[in-house]
């Protein structure tokens, strides 16, 4: 038997009165988090939810998310986290595809959630906050005290604990089935390697509905009894204020968050001296951003690599002493990683040997929910195919070059967008940049850059293109450049390149 909720029960037993959650409204201890989630488990069970049933969780980073999350698990049900930025048709699709029986949503997203639930034929809705627009019931009905500890439902390690939907870069999102054992080990092993401590306070700005925030932040923190400082919506001010208020020691983020923090005025309102380390994942962090952040804040950034289907850690730089800057680290314990050429042959180590990153081990999903053909394609040859391109150096550190699907082929030459973006990020007038391939009648594809300028005098388009031309091979530099006020971001803070053209 292995029910993932055991990580909360064990920490509540060992450290009942230590903070589990810190937020604007105060703190919640591990004992109280355990009791509140017990109440949710009891309420769901009384409403007919049985082990294996799916319950959708559509909340931002507020205390009710971990309360409901662990309550769902304790009842033996499967958590289906939904992005709070989704529109009704997207919500309806994921509810129907997962066959969710109950939805816990948030007042700020209730209108879209209710429309999506109606499309999926789901009527059992509970909401955190006002429920004026639908007959949704208040979430407080699920938190009535039960008086005694709720027994964890019997679950096997191979049973699904969560169905997390991919970002859907091609076609509709697929639901990755993440098991109890997979999620437990992905909390336990990275936490041990990273030496997470019970007195750590982790800034939890990464959305908990995303696998990075759910698995690598929340589950890891709970497994080791650390505190989560919840940030409902990322802004630099919110993060820096929470670090100051809660004396946070760890910040988990994606590259766009580090970029935004760098651009924000750092004045006497903020005291970040408590931070001991930052962790970056979700996308490759530009070298310039990493260097500038470490210099300004005096805190090392440890970069890792993972994805929804691996929940999430594949490789990691486990400490400031044992890291290789600009790499995503080495495979964690129990995880195998290789680089394959297009014919499925393993490539040797060496920065010149770029191929697809494939992996296998305890960390991979059971499969895509209801999609056996997509699952078989993803696991060709017995290894999970990430769709990312990378290489190993001679010491076994992995470098992610780019997404396989984002590779630009210009006149028969391969152009890796990340390489071009690295150059753009070094330009003093560029705050953010994204590079994509656009159709070209003569060359097949042309390189196009989208740039968010830094505040101040407007940069010159020709000058930025010339800057790239001086630093990149002739076939790599962007001939097309478009200025934007902002770049489209996912709920997890990743640039949505499919919306750029």
pLDDT tens per residue, range 24-53: 989 999 999 999 999 999 999 999 999 999
- Beta bridge mates, 170: none
The reply to whether 26-178 and 407-499 are identical in fold is no
Work out the pLDDT band at 168, boundaries 50, 70, 90: low
Percent of the chain's residues with pLDDT above 90: 77
pLDDT digits (tens, 9 = 90+) for 185-199: 999 999 998 889 999
Domain ranges for the chain: 26-178, 189-357+376-404, 407-499
Burial class of 383 by CB neighbour count within 10 A (0 to 12, 13 to 18, 19+): buried
Unique residue bearing structure tokens 């998310």: 65
Q: What is the mean pLDDT of residues 178-183?
A: 98
Q: CA-CA distances (angstroms) from residue 365 to 34, 46, 279, 288, 311?
A: 27, 30, 23, 34, 7
Segment 273-287 shows an average pLDDT of 90
Question: Would the pTM of this model clear 0.75, i.e. be above it?
Answer: yes
How high is the pLDDT of residue 171?
65
> Can you give the pLDDT at residue 294?
95
Q: Which two tokens stand for residue 273?
A: 């001296």
**pLDDT, the chain, mean:** 93
| Residue 156: per-residue pLDDT | 96
**What's the topology of domain 407-499?**
GMP Synthetase; Chain A, domain 3 (3.30.300)
CATH fold of 189-357+376-404 = Rossmann fold (3.40.50)
**300-311: per-residue pLDDT in tens?**
999 999 999 999
Does 278 or 499 have the greater pLDDT score?
278
User: Per residue in 125-135, pLDDT tens?
Assistant: 999 987 655 67
Q: Identify the pLDDT of residue 350.
A: 93
The hierarchical CATH code for the domain 26-178 is 3.40.50.980
pLDDT, average across residues 250-260:
92
């Amino acid at each position: 038997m292995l029910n993932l909720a055991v990580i909360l029960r064990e920490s509540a037993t060992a450290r009942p009165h230590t903070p589990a959650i810190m937020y604007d409204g105060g703190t919640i201890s591990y004992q109280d988090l355990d009791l509140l989630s017990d109440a949710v488990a009891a309420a769901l069970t009384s409403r007919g939810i049985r082990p294996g049933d799916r319950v959708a969780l559509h909340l931002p980073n507020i205390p009710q998310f971990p309360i409901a999350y662990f309550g769902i698990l304790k009842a033996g049900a499967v958590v289906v986290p939904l992005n709070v930025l989704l529109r009704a048709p997207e919500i309806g699709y994921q509810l129907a595809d997962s066959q969710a029986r109950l939805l816990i949503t948030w007042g700020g997203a209730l209108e879209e959630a209710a429309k999506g639930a109606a499309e999926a034929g789901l009527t059992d809705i509970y909401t955190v906050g006002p429920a004026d627009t639908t007959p949704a019931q208040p979430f407080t009905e699920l938190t009535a005290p039960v008086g005694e500890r709720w027994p964890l439902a019997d679950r096997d390690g191979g049973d699904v604990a969560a169905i997390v939907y991919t970002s859907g870069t091609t076609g509709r999102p697929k639901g990755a089935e993440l098991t109890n054992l997979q999620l437990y080990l992905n909390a336990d092993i990275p936490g041990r390697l990273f030496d997470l401590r019970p007195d750590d306070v982790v800034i939890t700005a990464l959305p908990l509905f995303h696998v990075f925030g759910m698995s690598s932040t929340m589950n890891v923190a709970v497994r080791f009894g650390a505190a989560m400082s919840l940030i409902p919506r990322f802004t630099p001010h919110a993060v820096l204020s929470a670090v100051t208020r809660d004396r946070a020691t760890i910040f988990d983020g994606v590259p766009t968050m580090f970029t935004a923090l760098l651009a924000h005025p750092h004045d006497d309102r903020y005291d970040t001296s408590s931070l001991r380390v930052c962790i970056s994942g979700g996308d490759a962090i530009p070298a310039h951003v990493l260097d500038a952040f470490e210099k300004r804040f005096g805190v090392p950034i440890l970069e890792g690599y993972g994805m929804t289907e691996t929940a999430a850690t594949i490789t990691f730089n486990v400490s400031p002493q044992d890291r290789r800057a600009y790499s995503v680290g080495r495979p964690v314990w129990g995880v195998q990683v290789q680089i394959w050429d297009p014919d499925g042959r393993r490539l040797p180590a060496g920065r010149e040997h770029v191929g697809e990153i494939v992996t296998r081990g305890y960390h991979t999903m059971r499969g895509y929910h209801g999609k056996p053909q997509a699952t078989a394609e993803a696991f060709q040859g017995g290894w999970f195919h990430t769709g990312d391109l990378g290489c190993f150096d001679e010491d076994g550190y992995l470098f992610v070059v780019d997404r396989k699907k984002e590779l630009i082929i210009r006149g028969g030459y391969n152009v890796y967008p990340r390489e071009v973006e690295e150059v753009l990020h070094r330009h003093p007038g560029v705050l953010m940049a994204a590079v994509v391939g656009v159709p070209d009648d003569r060359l097949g594809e042309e390189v196009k850059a989208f740039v968010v300028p830094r505040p101040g005098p407007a940069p010159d388009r020709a000058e930025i293109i010339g800057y790239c031309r001086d630093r990149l091979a002739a076939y790599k530099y962007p001939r097309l450049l478009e200025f934007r006020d902002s770049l489209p971001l996912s709920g997890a803070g990743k640039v949505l390149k499919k919306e750029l053209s």
